[in-house]
Structure 1
Amino acid sequence: MSSIGTGYDLSVSTYSPDGRVFQVEYAGKAVDNSGTVIGLRVKDGVVLAVEKLVQSKLLVPGSNRRIQSADLHVGLATAGLLADGRHIINRARDEAQSWRDTYRQPIPGKVTQCPLIFSFVTRTRLLSVRWFAQSYNLPPPLCQYVSAYTLYSSVRPFGTSTIIGAYDADGPHLYLIEPSGVYWVSMN
């Protein structure tokens, strides 16, 4: 009896004969096996909610929070592996603080043009083509960071999906970043 990956699931840089990357699929299964996360964009703001699964009676109530803030106007909710979610949240805080230090204003929450980010591997080298957003904001740097963890064999993909809710002068914004680095924008 053999496993599903049969040698093709040892690295994120290894494609199966049918073009699948099993490590990214396993990261998606970690998200599927965790609690539900909901993000709602309403007229006056964004609502984030998580289903708190109690793994053990020994856990302190209020620990293992899966909703955090990256800035005063940006909140993140994660589904999947808790440690990976914390890592993404810390990276979002670093991005927001870097923007605030550089430009002396909060990081904007709106995407004016969605970036197209894709990479593919030939037998000899990695080829990447990237078009970036016209206005800098939080989701593109985070999805590029998450996507980078699906390209190299020395790291594993993040086993978490992250919902980002932001509110600024343009109104509420809602994004979802998947373990593969693909992100979705909530539109009107």
Structure 2
Amino acid sequence: MSGIGTGYDLYPTTFSPDGRIFQVEYAHKAVENSSTAIGLCCKDGVVFGIEKIILSKMLVEGTNRRVFSVGEHIGIATAGLTADGRRIVQNARQEAKNYENFTSDIIPIHVLTERLSIYVQVFTLYNYIRPFGCSLMIGSYDEEKGPSLYCIEPDSVALGFYGCAIGKGKQEAKTEISKLKLSEMTCKDAVKEIAKILMKTVHDETKEKEMELEMSWICKETKGKHKLVPKKLIEEAVEWVKGQENEED
């Protein structure tokens, strides 16, 4: 790609002759080289699941998280450059705080998504900054409005989804997600399905690298608060997936 974009990929404000912005495409490539993250919008909430490759046996389990909370009622999962994701999350928390100070109410998820997409777009408009090499999924749950799930890409496109995947294995994951009946699925069922997709479909076993599942949810069971999925529930989901593999063998 560098040979094609020579001379046109120095700044995010430069269009190539065929109308492409190469620095934004490079940002998308950074996301595609990252491990996979999945978000499912179920009937009683939203569940996030992330494939984290264990690069060293000396790493402490649970560190370098890629799921974050904005206040108590909104969760964010990222794929791509982790540092870029943390910067966007920091801005999201500031937006939520400013909204609450001004209106004395928590920020609606669609308002936060719109403001974050504008913030991401700003970094594609000036020569002295670069686009964020990060995609993120934003989820929340409300007793009246139900669950909501949005995705923001490095080019600032923000869309709502019932099920979404970002990262290296997003195409394979999306194929499996499209087979699920999400409107009939509970969050506990979604934990198992996400584990199955990440472990059996997405994770490349030929690399001989171990992986760690990081999951969070925001649902009826958590009373609308974003929390990490209990470790016991994740372990049960992993055993369920391994049991299915043994049956197939």
- Shorter-normalised TM range: 0.7 to 0.9
What is the TM-score normalised by the length of structure 1? 0.81
The equivalent residue for 2:148 is 173
Q: 2-side partners of 1:56 and 1:90: how far apart?
A: 28
Shift of the alpha carbon at 1:104? 1.5
Shift of the alpha carbon at 1:58? 4.2
Question: How do 1:79-118 residues align onto structure 2 when only pairs under 5 Å count?
Answer: 79-109=79-109, 111=110
Which of 111, 116, 123 aligns to 1:142? It is 116
Question: Is 162-171 or 33-42 further displaced after alignment?
Answer: 162-171
Q: 2-side partners of 1:161 and 1:152: how far apart?
A: 20
- Point out the structure with the larger strand share: 1
Q: 2-side partners of 1:100 and 1:89: how far apart?
A: 16
RMSD: 1.5
State the Cα deviation string for residues 34-87 of structure 1 (Å, max 9, x = none): 011111101111001111122334433221100011121100000000000000
Q: After TM superposition, where is structure 1 displaced by more than 3 Å over at least 4 residues in a row?
A: 55-59
The structure having more radius of gyration, on CA atoms, is: 2
Q: 2-side partners of 1:49 and 1:62: how far apart?
A: 13
- Point out the structure with the larger helix share: 2
The equivalent residue for 2:170 is none
State the Cα deviation string for residues 138-169 of structure 1 (Å, max 9, x = none): 10000000011111111100000000001223
> How many positions carry a matched residue from both structures?
161
SS at match of 2:49: strand
Letter in 1 for 2:90: N
The equivalent residue for 1:4 is 4
The equivalent residue for 1:117 is none
Q: 2-side partners of 1:82 and 1:54: how far apart?
A: 15
Question: Is 35-44 or 48-57 further displaced after alignment?
Answer: 48-57
User: Unaligned stretches of 5+ in structure 2?
Assistant: 163-182, 184-249
Letter in 1 for 2:159: W
Q: 2-side partners of 1:138 and 1:58: how far apart?
A: 37
